[in-house]
Amino acid sequence: RDLAELDAQLIECRACPRLVKWRERVAREKRRAFADEEYWGRPVAGIGPADARLLIVGLAPAAHGGNRTGRMFTGDRSGDVLFSALYLAGLASQPHSVAIGDGLELFDTRITAPVHCAPPQNKPTVAERDTCSYWLHAELELLAPTVRSVVTLGGFGWQSTLRTFAKLGWTVPKPLPKFGHGVSTTLVREGAELEVFGCYHVSQQNTFTGRLTVEMVVDVLTEAARSAGI
Ligand code: SF4
């Protein structure tokens, strides 16, 4: 199967009872500001070209962001920061992502997440992460021929990504290197190399407190793009 087929299967997934219940409840009850919108309320697939050289791995869709619009990081504050940074780094056609059909294009970049359904409090359980790793595993394998660099947003994405690459036969340092903003580690498989970068998550907890700025995200994206040959 190719990436489009994988995504088509993913959006039918109901493997995590707690998350299915939550994503559908949020979609039914809605936030008042979006009361007249139809929420997506299903797993949110990755976005961007299937032959991307740069991959971004977040955490999970936001209840009223991706779970509403059906597109990763679309329609929430985290996305405002991420797409501003992608645009400034030359990796996106516009600095915002509001809804499917808004003209957004990603250049040589794909965005995905280790958990594809919105979790309560943005906190998936270990069991949910492990169940959803089936999809990350399949996606990383399909992207492996072209991806040369990965930016993980937050420790959850960092660990999920490194663990999944290890299962796919990439040589990952042991013990797993510690997550931090700006850290990176090199993975090797059959002569191919790829670089995994850590970046603080673009969540409001980090951006409102000033722990993370758009410029800091741009710096990591620029370095990762250079490493991928973009
Ligand atoms: Fe399926 Fe992943 Fe959603 Fe669980 S989180 S229901 S595995 S898509």
**Atom number of ligand 1 nearest to Cα 124:** 5
**Atom number of ligand 1 nearest to Cα 10:** 8
107: left (phi over 0), alpha (psi -120 to 50) or beta: beta
User: In which band, very low, low, confident or very high, does the pLDDT at 187 lie, cut at 50, 70 and 90?
Assistant: very high
Write phi, then psi, for 39 (nearest 5 degrees).
Answer: -75, 150
User: In which band, very low, low, confident or very high, does the pLDDT at 202 lie, cut at 50, 70 and 90?
Assistant: very high
Burial class (CB in 10 A: 0-12, 13-18, 19+), 29: exposed
What pLDDT is attached to residue 133? Answer: 97
What pLDDT is attached to residue 30? Answer: 96
Rounded mean pLDDT, 174-186:
96
Rounded mean pLDDT, 24-29:
97
What pLDDT is attached to residue 219? Answer: 98
User: In which band, very low, low, confident or very high, does the pLDDT at 68 lie, cut at 50, 70 and 90?
Assistant: very high
Q: What percentage of the chain reaches a pLDDT higher than 90?
A: 99
Please indicate whether residue 16, judged by its CB atom, sits closer than 6 Å to ligand 1.
yes
What pLDDT is attached to residue 59? Answer: 97
CATH code: domain of residue 57: 3.40.470.10
Count: domains in the chain: 1
- Among 44, 132, 156, 164, name the best residue to mutate to test ligand 1's pocket (greatest count of ligand atoms within 8 A of Cβ): 132
**Atom number of ligand 1 nearest to Cα 23:** 3
Verdict on whether the full-model pTM lies above 0.95: yes
The residue whose CA is least distant from atom 2 of ligand 1 is 132
What pLDDT digit, counting tens, does each position of 28-65 carry? 999 999 999 999 999 999 999 999 999 999 999 999 99
* ipTM score for this prediction: 0.99
Rounded mean pLDDT, 2-11:
97
Q: What percentage of the chain reaches a pLDDT higher than 70?
A: 100
Ligand 1 centre from 119 Cα, in Å? 10
Please indicate whether residue 136, judged by its CB atom, sits closer than 6 Å to ligand 1.
no
What pLDDT is attached to residue 22? Answer: 98
Burial class (CB in 10 A: 0-12, 13-18, 19+), 59: buried
Range of the domain at 202: 3-227
Q: Measured between alpha carbons, how far is residue 2 from residues 5, 74, 108, 145, 170 in Å?
A: 5, 24, 17, 13, 21
Please indicate whether residue 44, judged by its CB atom, sits closer than 6 Å to ligand 1.
no
Rounded mean pLDDT, 182-189:
97
**Atom number of ligand 1 nearest to Cα 14:** 6
Tokens of 110: 């794909």
Instruction: Name the nearest CA neighbour of 201 among 58, 45, 62, 47.
Output: 58
* CA separation for the pair 11, 110 (Å, rounded): 17
